[in-house]
């Protein structure tokens, strides 16, 4: 039982610009809604009386909302009906809640709608004039806390969100000398005047002919940790005769794709498509600033007949993934040009056919750097997974701790998937 103690708006601690901010086509193509994330912290015995002091947390939030002032605004529309950010400075929602539960009661935490409703402020209407940032601090009887955040996906991608959290924690620790300011000018991703569309991007087209199976939002989720030793062995298994390097993301994703296709027990002649996202900041010409504050990711995918996914060595699947995730500036500019005249209201944004997967990578992002001065989180994870077939990969807490896999599947497929995955990992020579 979680009881709300207080709910208020935290505004920037200083005056901030009030001009509206234009959103790029990549922003408008993102899922329209808030991305909810949770951070679990065990109590620090030495300072348990002051662990996550509420007023201190609010004060640091007010300070970080100065450089990140768009998050204190509201989603709005310009005179032509295009979504934009109204930089009103109205503030972010800050909720404090308490529970008599112990943090250990959630040792087996798995993302779900129930968990999102417990630890993140209630979901609001995602359309204008909605709030853009919501935070909930849940205080446990044992002294532990859960920090739940919800940032509007039309405003930020994952890299931006973790940049914001990392900056917030730096301010809370009093370390302000090396803060990286967000780059707020999204016009660098405008469509070209002489639009050049290379090809119609399948990942941004709602094609009813492609959907071979019913889309289901019913899912169960699990959090699985893969050790660094197992990842290195898996990458070696995925290497080809040329000795080409295989990333942890591609090696793990190839194995997940294969195990999922086996566990779902679908017709082997059915096509399976695996979707993922590419961060284009370093792939644009010229590169975008690393602190670009907006959606700078594009969708890509690879498909194969399920029978081939099951029978092919995962080294082959990893190579196919490499080909699908190798796009550069030309493709990104073509996509932005395509979206300039696309029906944004008809883009596929959520849900998957029961044959498909969407794998999102947070590997390499500072997911575990959320230290407010009293220790890093013992767990950072999505609060919910939206639909079946959604997978998120991230670095596990601790040095050389491997990768955490957060996976959602149909309830009937999850036991078989986990059994197959653990068998494959156990068979690796580590």
Tokens standing for residue 243? 């000795």
Task: Enumerate residue ranges in the chain where pLDDT < 50.
Answer: 46-49, 209-214
| pLDDT (0 to 100) of residue 200 | 81
| pLDDT (0 to 100) of residue 429 | 80
- Beta-strand ranges (E) seen in 246-402 are 271-279, 297-305, 357-361, 379-382, 390-395
pLDDT digit string (tens) for 126-171? 889 999 999 999 999 989 999 999 999 999 999 999 999 999 999 9
For the question of residue 105 being annotated catalytic, the response is no
Is the link from the previous residue into 182 a cis peptide, with omega within 30 of 0? no
How many Å apart are CA 296 and CA 339, to the nearest integer?
14
- Beta-strand ranges (E) seen in 153-270 are 220-226
| pLDDT (0 to 100) of residue 213 | 44
Question: Which phi-psi region, left, alpha or beta, contains residue 398 (left: φ > 0; alpha: ψ -120 to 50)?
Answer: left
Q: Are 408 and 397 in contact (CB under 8 A)?
A: no
For the question of residue 153 being annotated catalytic, the response is yes
Q: Are 271 and 211 in contact (CB under 8 A)?
A: no
Across-strand partners of 409?
220
Catalytic residue among 308, 312, 322, 371: 371
Q: Are 87 and 16 in contact (CB under 8 A)?
A: yes
Q: What is the DSSP string of 61-128?
A: HHHHTTTTGGGGSEEEE-TTS-EEEE-----EEEEEEEESS-GGGGTT----HHHHHHHSPPP--SST
Instruction: Look at the alpha carbons of 279, 272, 321, 407 in this order and tell me if their dihedral is positive or negative.
Output: positive
How many Å apart are CA 73 and CA 86, to the nearest integer?
6
Tell me which residue of 257, 261, 267 sits closest to 301, measured CA to CA. Answer: 257
Catalytic residue among 153, 230, 279, 395: 153
Q: Are 11 and 68 in contact (CB under 8 A)?
A: no
- Residue 106 CB coordination number (10 Å): 18
| pLDDT (0 to 100) of residue 211 | 47
| pLDDT (0 to 100) of residue 123 | 77
The b-or-e profile of 132-155 (16+ CB within 10 A means b, else e) is bbbbbbbbbeebbbbbbbbbbbbb
Q: Which domains does the chain have, with CATH numbers?
A: 2-189 (3.30.559.10), 212-364+385-427 (3.30.559.10)
């Amino acid at each position: 039982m979680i009881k709300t103690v207080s709910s208020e708006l935290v505004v920037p601690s200083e005056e901030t610009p009030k001009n509206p901010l234009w959103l790029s086509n990549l922003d408008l193509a993102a899922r329209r809604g808030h991305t909810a994330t949770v951070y679990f912290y065990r109590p620090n015995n030495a300072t348990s009386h002051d662990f996550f002091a509420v007023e201190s947390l609010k004060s640091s939030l007010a300070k970080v909302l100065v450089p990140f002032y768009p998050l204190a605004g509201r989603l709005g529309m310009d005179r032509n009906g295009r979504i934009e950010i109204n930089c009103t400075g109205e503030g972010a929602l800050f909720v404090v809640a308490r529970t008599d539960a112990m943090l250990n009661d959630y040792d087996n935490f798995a993302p779900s709608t129930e968990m999102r409703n417990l630890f993140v402020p209630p979901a609001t209407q995602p359309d204008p004039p909605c709030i853009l940032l919501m935070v909930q601090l849940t205080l446990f009887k044992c002294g532990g806390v859960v920090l739940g955040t919800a940032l509007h996906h039309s405003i930020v991608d994952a890299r931006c969100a973790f940049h914001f959290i990392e900056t917030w924690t730096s301010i809370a620790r009093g370390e302000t000398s090396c803060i990286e300011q967000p780059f707020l000018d999204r016009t660098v991703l405008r469509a070209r005047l002489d639009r050049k569309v290379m090809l119609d991007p399948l990942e941004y087209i709602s094609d009813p002919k492609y959907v071979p199976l019913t889309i289901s939002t019913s899912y169960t989720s699990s959090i699985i940790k893969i050790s660094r030793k197992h990842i290195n062995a898996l990458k070696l298994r995925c290497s080809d005769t040329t000795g080409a390097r295989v990333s942890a993301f591609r090696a793990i994703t190839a194995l997940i794709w294969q195990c999922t296709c086996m566990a779902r027990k679908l017709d082997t002649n059915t096509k399976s498509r695996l979707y993922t996202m590419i961060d284009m900041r370093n792939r644009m010409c010229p590169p975008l600033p690393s602190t670009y504050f907006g959606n700078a990711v594009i969708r890509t995918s690879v498909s194969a007949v399920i029978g081939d996914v099951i029978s092919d060595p995962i080294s082959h699947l990893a190579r196919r993934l490499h080909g699908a995730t190798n796009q550069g500036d030309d493709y990104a500019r073509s996509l932005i040009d395509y979206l300039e005249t696309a029906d944004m209201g008809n883009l596929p944004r959520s849900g998957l056919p029961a044959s498909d997967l969407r794998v999102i990578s947070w590997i390499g992002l500072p997911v575990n750097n959320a230290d407010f001065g009293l220790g890093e989180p013992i767990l950072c994870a999505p609060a919910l997974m939206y639909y079946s077939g959604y997978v998120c990969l991230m670095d596990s807490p601790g040095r050389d701790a491997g990768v955490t896999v957060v996976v959602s599947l149909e309830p009937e497929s999850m036991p078989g998937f986990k059994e197959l995955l653990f068998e494959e990992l156990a068979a690796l020579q580590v």
